[in-house]
Structure formats: structure tokens, C-alpha cells
A and B are shown apart, each in its own frame.
Chain A
Amino acid sequence: MTTTTNTLLKYYTLAQKIRIVEERIAAEYSKGEMRCPVHLSIGQEVVSAAVGMAQETSDTAVSSHRAHAHYLAKDGDLYRMIAEIFGRVTGCCKGRGGSMHLVDLSVGFLGSSAIVGNSIPVGVGAGFTHKLDKSGQLAFTFFGDGATEEGAFYESVNFAVVNKIPVVFLCENNLYSVYTDLTPRQPASRKIHEMAAAMGLTSFEINSLDPIVCLQETLAHVLWARENQVPIFLEYKTYRWLEHCGPNNDDGLEYRPNGELKAWKLQDPLRALRESLVANYSVTVSELDAIDSAITTEVNLVFEKVRTDPFPTLNESMQDVYA
């Protein structure tokens, strides 16, 4: 499969936007203005970007606690996300949800949930609507390796297979549930994507360390699911660079094997994508720098402006318990 330079530049822009936003959150977190838990996707950006490239605006998506990247890849509004993390009334949830609860209905991003596995069935329900409406849309549901240990995951996969729901299950396997590696959680001989296949899903494993293959495979599999209106499962081999929750490097806690983080960082898929664009696609470094710089300018403006936005009043926060 050949991928055009334009497509790769869009992909790069999306992944780089996620990284720059996440790095900015990490850099400013210690100022104490973002007073809610944040789960950053630094190291995992190309997964979301690849999925974002495969999504139509009319598709729906739900996600987990680590949702910034998924929201941005679905073209969720950056300003309203940052305002939400800052607890401002201009946030996407009016300051009621924080980082773990993101929504942008204008692009079909229905919501993200702080409870592991919680949004998986909701995504299947959205996919059920697409099936009933015969609309050709797909529902995307993002989760991590930990969520595949939840009952909701098995129940949802089973339902989707039995009822042939057009849903894309996206498992970002970053090897850790908080500080716990896979060893005490899942048998070493059992691969998540193989288990999904055994449950009746068309299932693939995608290695995010080769960013261009990651994009190509994602596009191909999602296209196949779209054309056939069936559920599929994509497991991404990926890695989180920072702590589970928060802005810091936590390698000092020594729950990761010595050298593991360093090895993954050396294979940074975003840098690999950048280098490949220059080496193989005739893109100049200055073109890429210009993309980075435009993103940084946008992010600067957002971070500057949200700070001037008001907090919700208590009265505002007492509304909307019922529709």
C-alpha cells in the first residue's frame, strides 16, 4: 500500500499536536491550576493519530480515563478540553468532568469514562444505533490492556459479535495497569488479540513502533469494518512514557524493568515518522518545524486564554441533574 505524503503529513500533524498538548499539560501541571487527575498519552500518540485518520466525523467514539489523545484525534475542540482540565465553565463538560470526562458531540466524541471498562458497552450501544439506522457509521471504543480484564469487556465483545454491531474495539496495550505489569494479570501465553479472535472478532495486532505501517494497517482494517459493517478488534503494541496518572517520569519507582523505558524512547514512533518523512517522502525539516511551530502557537493561545475564563458558579454546577 502506498500512502501519500499529504496523508502522512496530516498523520504527523495529528500525532505531534497530541504530543505538544500533553507535554504542555505536563510542563504546567505543577503550577496547581489543573487540579484534577491527568492521564497523559506521551509515547502512545501515533495510535490515536492513526485511528483519527481512519475515522469519519460522523463516526462515534468513546474512551477511557486516558482520553486526551483520542479526543484530539477525533478533532475534539482543544480549547474546550483544556478549559475543562482547568475547571472552567467554558470546558466541554462545564467543569463537571475534568480530564477524564471529555465530550465533543460536534465530532461524535460521546464521552470518556474514569471507570476502567465502563465506556466499552456504551460504545457498543452507539454502534447498535448505527446498525439500526443503517447509517454506515462506525462506533469506536478505546481502552487499555487493563480493561480487557473487566467483565464489561467480555460482555460487550460477545454482544457485538452475536448482534454484528459495527464497532471498532481499540486496545492500547501499554503493558501496565497503573504500576502493575501483565505478569500477575494475564497469562503470558495468551495474547489479547488472539483472545478477541477466539471470541469471534476479526482481530489484528498492530505495532505502533513502525508508525507508517501502523497507519496503513489501521486504515485498511477500519475500511474493511466500515464496508462490511462488522465489529473488529485492534490491539496496539505501545508504551506510556510518563507515570500512570500525572505529569512526571516515574522510572525511579522501579516497577518497570531497568532500561525498558529507555529502549521504548529510543524507538519513539513520532520521531521515526518525522525522520521517515524527511528521508523517504521529500519533506523538509523546515516544513515539519513550521507544523510544530503552528501547533505550539495554537496551544500557547489556548493556555493563555483559558486562564481568563470564569469558573462555573455553584448555582451552575447544581443544574442538569435531570434532562
Chain B
Amino acid sequence: MLNQENKMTDFAEQIRIGLDEALDQDPKLILMGLGVTDPKGIFGTTLGLPQKYGRERVLETPTSENAVTGIGVGLAVTGHKTVMVHQRLDFFLLAMDQLVNSAAKWHYMYGGQQSVPITIRLITGRGWGQGPTHSQNLHSWFTHIPGLKVVMPAFAHEAKELLRLSIDDPNPVLFLEDRWCHVQKAELSDVITRGSIQLGQAEILVPGDSLTVVAAGFAAVESLRAVSFLKERGINVELINLRTLKPLDTATIFSSVKKTGRILVVDSGAEIASFASEVVSQVSRNCFDSLTSAPQIICAPDVPEPTSHGVTEEFKFGAADIAKKIIEMTESNIKADWTILNNVPHDAPNSTYMGPF
């Protein structure tokens, strides 16, 4: 007898199911982007959808990131919710005018009369030599623009519901998918059901009392490995998976810091004006009396990411770096075999991955 509870799924499949459900439930919803109908189907996340919903609703677009974003705005303000997707966030930089001057401001600027229900899926490259222009983590930029929402799922069990919530939302939502999150797995029985979470709600992924770790996206995946590793060795830190960067669930962060007295923010973006800096700023301004040590961040260096796999291992932080930082901050004294945390390839999501993209 098949045990339904042990059936596995992964993040990419959950995205595809979420899109399928959304297209099925809203006959006016449009899904468009370069590659949504191609044989690879955006890393499998759109496979089968053009056949099921037609090539007008699942629309292959020209290589025109800026206009396509504006066309999405035009569709949305006239009654067609739109999901757009870019296989690398970096290409979406060509669309900053439509994102910032149109999508983000339309509702406010025209007196609150027209909302812009668009969801923009941006896939972040990681590893395998993606290099300076294929692996940028620019989520912090997007949070700086009034009128945008920024969602950053980490795990397979939350991916679908966070996507559905983003599509349901009447505002422009940037939905950031780290390429390596796509291979995260979950048991089907653990998949979050409709209506049980909201945008703007963080999750206490691991409860603990000696330090608060805050992370989102793949940084949360790596933080979970570090925190679990330390928990097995008697160090109990709390891990908050943000899920949404904007609006930010400051209540959950503040209440955790008031309990632990310490905060470490782990962020895949470059350190200057990073989202981690924003979290530290808010915690410092609101929980100063509770802090027993200086807040810390782990970010990418303020350097474009090099391509060579000869240097990327040192360049990128990993679970071991997070664990070591936690040990330093909690003044713990353990001897650990770090090779356990370093047993995954530094530049691939798993040992079978052979690229190319």
C-alpha cells in the first residue's frame, strides 16, 4: 500500500502546481515570460501549462524585459492578473523603469483607483560559475521601493502557498527563487495548505534561546543546516525564516531578540546597504536594551561574484561559516568536525548536478 504521507515533492514542482492551480481558478490570469512554453519550461516550473491553458494565457514573450513588464502592468490595471518570470534576476534589471516608475507607484500615484496585481518571479543563479551577471542577489533594492512587496521562499513545503498568496495579492510582488531552492525537497503531507499563512508573516523555523538567526531564501536553507548542526551539539539558537522581506514581520524578530539578546542576520546579498543591515538597524532602534552583544551580519562581500570555481568556495559563505559565527557570538566552546557541514559541493545544489544553467 502506497503511503501517501511519505510521498516527496520538490520546490520546483510546488511552483508548477501553484501556477496550475492559480491559472485554473482565475480564468483571466496570464502567465508570461521568455521560456514559459519552451521544452525546459523554466526549470520545469511551467511544463504542461501552455498545453493545458493555451498559448494566449501562457504566453511566450519577446526578449523585451522592460516592455513586457509594462504590458503586465497594462494587463493588470485592466483586469488581467499577470505572473511574469525571468530565468535570471539579472535580466530583469532592464525592466527597472516599468517596475519602479509604473508598477510600484501606479496605485498610489493615480489616487488609489487602480491596483497592479502582478507577480514577478525572479530566479537567482547560484554556483556553477554563474558569475558577476548571473547570480546577483538584489532583494534589498526591491525592498527600498515603496509600493512593492518582496517574497523570498526557502523551502519546498512553503513555495506553493507563498506563490499563491503573491498572486492573490492586489499589489506588485517580487517573488525571488534561488535556483538552489528549486531542488529542496519536502514530504507532500508537510506542504502548507491554503489559508494557513499570510504574506508578511515570518516563521520560527527552529526555536531556541541563546541567539536569534534571521534569514530568507537559500540563506535560510544554509542557516537551518548550521543551526541543526549546533543544536545536536547543545547550542540552542532560534532560527527565523522570514519568507517575506516586505512587509517585514518585525514583531516576530523583536520578540525573539528580546528573548535571546543576540541577533545574527544571514543574507545572500552584498553587505553594503544589505537587507541584513536593515534588519540590524530596526532591531538596534527597537530592541537596544535587550541586546547583550552587538548585532552581526553574514553577507556576500562588496565585490562582484567571480566565476572561477577555484575561488568561489572561499568567496561564498556556507553553513560552516554561519555555525562558526554563532559559536563566536554565543561564546560557546565546542570542537566540531566541520567536514560534516562541508560535505556538499560548494558550487552545485547537489552532487549529481552538472549544469550547465
Contact = CB atoms under 8 A, between A and B. Distances in A.
A60 B30 CA distance: 20
B79 interface: yes
Contacts of A96: 108-111
A75 to B, nearest CB: 17
Contacts of B80: 128-129, 132
Interface in B148-194: 149, 170-171
Contacts of A118: 70, 97-98, 101-102
B74 A159 contact: no
B325 interface: no
A155 B170 contact: no
A215 interface: no
Interface in B78-93: 78-80
Contact of A113 (B67, B77, B101): B101
Interface stretch (A22-30, A246-254, A272-280, A315-323): A315-323
A110 B114 contact: yes
Given A103-B113, A122-B102, A152 B77 contact: no
Contacts of B79: 129, 133
A151 to B, nearest CB: 6
* Residue from A103, A162, A323 whose CB has the most chain B CB atoms within 10 Å: A323
B115 A124 contact: no
Nearest to A163: B59
B147 A110 contact: no
B337 to A, nearest CB: 48
A121 B66 contact: yes
Contacts of B64: 155-156, 158-159
B146 interface: yes
A320 B108 contact: yes
Contacts of B293: none
Contacts of B56: 132
A123 B77 CA distance: 10
Contacts of A129: 74-75, 78-80
A125 B73 contact: yes
A111 interface: yes
A298 B76 CA distance: 36
B107 interface: yes
Contact of A105 (B70, B72, B98, B114): B114
A128 B74 contact: yes
Given A121-B70, A159-B68, A97 B62 contact: no
B67 A124 contact: yes
A37 to B, nearest CB: 15
Contacts of A128: 71, 74-75, 80
A97 B111 contact: yes
14 contacts: A91-B111, A92-B110, A94-B112, A118-B70, A119-B70, A121-B70, A122-B73, A122-B74, A125-B70, A127-B74, A155-B66, A158-B64, A159-B61, A322-B149
